[in-house]
Amino acid sequence: MSDCRLCGEEIEPPARAEIKTLCLWCGEEQAKIERKSWTVIQEYSKGGYMYVSAESAFATLKQTNPKEVRTA
């Protein structure tokens, strides 16, 4: 059996231990932290979805505002 690399608890179910190094609880907490660093937006009303990271969020979201006049 394997132990979680963060909390040290035994990883359940055993099949998870073969592919993951975190228990379910620690894995969920890590996923919540990761999800805070990105988002998916719709570029315009009938456009496709677009991945936006924290670094590019300000510029990307400013460009997708339909009420702002774009120059350039």
Domain spans, the chain:
1-36, 37-72
Q: pTM of the predicted model, to two decimals?
A: 0.54
Decide if pLDDT at 15 tops 90: no
CB neighbour burial string for 38-56, b if at least 16 within 10 angstroms, e if fewer: eeeeeeeeeeeeeebeeee
Q: How far apart are CA 28 and CA 46, in angstroms?
A: 33
Decide if pLDDT at 72 tops 60: no
Decide if pLDDT at 67 tops 80: no
For residue 29, what pLDDT is reported?
92
The mean pLDDT of 12-37, rounded to a whole number, is 87
26 band by pLDDT with thresholds 50, 70 and 90? very high
